Amino acid sequence: MRFGATRSQIYDAQKTARALWEHTEQFWQDDVCRRHREQIVEPLDQTVTDLLRAIDQLAALVTQMRQECEDEGTF
């Protein structure tokens, strides 16, 4: 199981979304923008950050399992 490519795609999408939002905020500066940022953009960004952290943890666990199984000669 490989996580690198998927993680990279998610990270790149997050980076792009952040850049696009920052660009949008240059032109959209009202209460609706502020609410959208607080209710949609920031929670979504945090969820993606949490997802990336979970992928990293899962990848580490899979690597550890693979190494332990190889040491046992069963993988």
**Contact call for residues 11 and 55 (beta carbons, < 8 A):** no
The CA-atom distances, in angstroms, between 17 and each of 24, 51, 52 are 10, 15, 15
Each residue of 43-66: pLDDT tens digit? 999 999 999 999 999 999 999 998
47/3: higher pLDDT: 47
Look up residue 50 and give its amino acid: D
pLDDT band at residue 10 under the 50/70/90 scheme: very high
- As a whole number of angstroms, the distance between CA 9 and CA 34 comes to 28
pLDDT band at residue 71 under the 50/70/90 scheme: confident
Q: What is the pTM of this model?
A: 0.83
